[in-house]
Amino acid sequence: MNAYTMKNKKQAKNSIKKLSILIPAYNESKTIVGILEKIIRVDLPETIKKEIIIIDDCSTDHTDEKVAQVMKSHSEMYIKYIRLKENRGKGYAIRTGITNATGEIIIVQDADLEYDPNDYSILLQPILSGKYKIVYGSRLLNRNNKYSYHSFYWGGRLISLITSLLFSCKITDEPTCYKMFDASVLKSIPLTYDRFGFCPEITAKARRCGYAIKEVPINYYPRSKQEGKKIKWCDGVEAICILFKFRFHNKWQPMQYRNMCKANTAYQSRPVTNRRRLLKNVSFLILAALLVFYAFSKQPGYHWVYFNLLRGNMETIKKYPKLTFEQKMQMKLGTSYEYLLYLKQATPENAVILYPDSKDFHEKGSPFTQNIDNKIYATRFLYPRKLILESERKTGKYKDEITHVAIVNGKGTEKLPYPVDTEFQHGVLPLKPQTK
């Protein structure tokens, strides 16, 4: 490490005294208290203080009351609550938070407990080193992370690939919530999108300004749409359009911002993509897509996908344009639906149901299969109840949490004090209280 780098690192540490945490929230009364408590408990390096700014996007579920309780119980913390007059979207809420932030560093934090505030220290390190002004937390770099929907995973991979090709950078997780910025950089870039377009817009404009984006691995705990996840597939399409727009949009001239980057001696920027390299990347992407399509069109499975899957689904959508949640679950679960409906009606909302997953139960005609898709759909259908398989219980993760045991083909799981004098084939029974 040379003397110049050490000087920049020391200047960065001395100049950073506060981290502004922006929390856009819309109907997050179930999770807002939990995320605020986590943020308050987390320790930051180098004695950096926390500034918590909650931007309520006109919630209707008493989110404001939950925030008021936390502010009252933690009066020593700097917590600012801003309620918008109308629902404008996540992007508008973040812009409002940026104008009210006073910290030298700004990070965006979702209120849904999907992202862990304990990762703040990891995100801060590249900025404290003086080498980077923008840091993204990548869910993909942590191989232990899981996703609630395959569509979200592959959609994120596609958006990240397009970002890397268009802007000549290596981005593995562009749609991530954890985006940390030097406040002066973030406030200098004009933002316009109100909804989820904030993520691709800030990424595209930051790259056109010449800023390098550093990625670090983070933890991720996904939730389902029934638990409150709001992003849709159309938001992914909009993100791709935004990336192309700001890569080729000539009216948005970032020259003044690039000059600002060059004047900042503490920052080593990367050059903006040249047109020849961009054309090469886009041509390669189109050629690869055509080759994959041509190879697949020669396979027998192509006709099945086209006629059965694509056309069949379109006919179903036209015939049943508006299905309720129960109707969708009935179509997805098939023969398992009736039994899971019984579990839902026979147990309280806080129930943790243990379901046997030995092969002998399923070979005898259990109404519930071992297919992982069915496990996911069943979990969504029974929410907020938890469905735990026997193999999951053996890991010790759900020790002392199980409240009910499902009976399949007259049998249940072993080594649990459930009643054995049952006559029905399929059912659910509460656990007997443990005797000391």
Q: Do 235 and 347 reside in the same domain of the chain? A: no
Over its length of 436 residues, how does the chain's per-residue pLDDT go in tens digits? 554 455 555 555 567 889 999 999 988 888 899 999 999 999 888 789 999 999 998 888 888 899 999 999 998 889 999 999 888 888 899 999 999 999 999 999 998 888 999 999 999 999 999 899 999 999 988 888 877 667 778 888 889 988 888 888 889 999 898 999 999 999 988 888 888 888 999 999 888 888 999 999 999 887 665 555 666 777 788 888 888 888 876 555 555 555 555 554 434 444 444 566 667 777 777 888 888 777 776 666 665 555 555 555 555 555 555 667 777 777 777 767 777 788 888 888 888 887 766 444 444 444 454 444 566 677 778 888 887 777 677 777 676 788 888 776 555 555 544 444 444 456 777 775 544 4
Answer yes or no: is 50 within a domain.
yes
Which residue in 211, 314, 219 sits closest to 254, CA to CA? 211
**In whole angstroms, what is the distance from residue 182 CA to residue 180 CA?**
7
Last residue of one domain, picked from the residues 273, 308, 338: 273
Q: Do 269 and 296 reside in the same domain of the chain? A: no
pLDDT attached to residue 411: 54
Q: Do 340 and 296 reside in the same domain of the chain? A: no
Q: Do 423 and 395 reside in the same domain of the chain? A: yes
pLDDT attached to residue 421: 45
Q: Do 330 and 312 reside in the same domain of the chain? A: no
**In whole angstroms, what is the distance from residue 267 CA to residue 209 CA?**
12
Which helix H or strand E contains 327, and what residues bound it?
helix 325-333
Q: Do 380 and 251 reside in the same domain of the chain? A: no
Phi-psi region at 139: left, alpha or beta (left = phi > 0; alpha = psi -120 to 50): alpha
Please indicate, yes or no, whether the overall pTM of this predicted structure exceeds 0.85.
no
Helix then strand then coil, in percent of the chain rounded to 5, is 45, 15, 40
Per DSSP (E only), the strands in 331-385 are: 352-355
pLDDT attached to residue 315: 54
Answer yes or no: is 278 within a domain.
no
pLDDT attached to residue 99: 92
pLDDT attached to residue 436: 40
Which DSSP symbol is given to 310? I
Answer yes or no: is 191 within a domain.
yes
Q: Do 363 and 238 reside in the same domain of the chain? A: no
Q: Do 300 and 217 reside in the same domain of the chain? A: no
Structural domain of 301: 285-319
**In whole angstroms, what is the distance from residue 390 CA to residue 395 CA?**
9
Answer yes or no: is 178 within a domain.
yes
Residue with tokens 């049998």: 411
Answer yes or no: is 280 within a domain.
no
Q: How many domains does the chain have?
A: 3
Q: Do 196 and 290 reside in the same domain of the chain? A: no
pLDDT attached to residue 293: 74
Answer yes or no: is 28 within a domain.
yes
* DSSP string over 3-71: HHHHHHHHHHHHH--EEEEEEEESS-TTTHHHHHHHHHH---GGG-EEEEEEEE-S-SSSHHHHHHHHH
Which pair of structure tokens corresponds to residue 123? 């995100």
* Angle between helical axes of 325-333 and 372-382 (0-180°, round to 10): 150
Q: Do 148 and 82 reside in the same domain of the chain? A: yes
Q: Report the CATH number at residue 255.
A: 3.90.550.10
pLDDT attached to residue 383: 80
Q: Do 290 and 338 reside in the same domain of the chain? A: no
How many of the other CB atoms lie within 10 Å of CB of 266?
16
Which residue in 189, 225, 170, 234 sits closest to 94, CA to CA? 189
Answer yes or no: is 44 within a domain.
yes
Q: Do 63 and 108 reside in the same domain of the chain? A: yes
Answer yes or no: is 104 within a domain.
yes
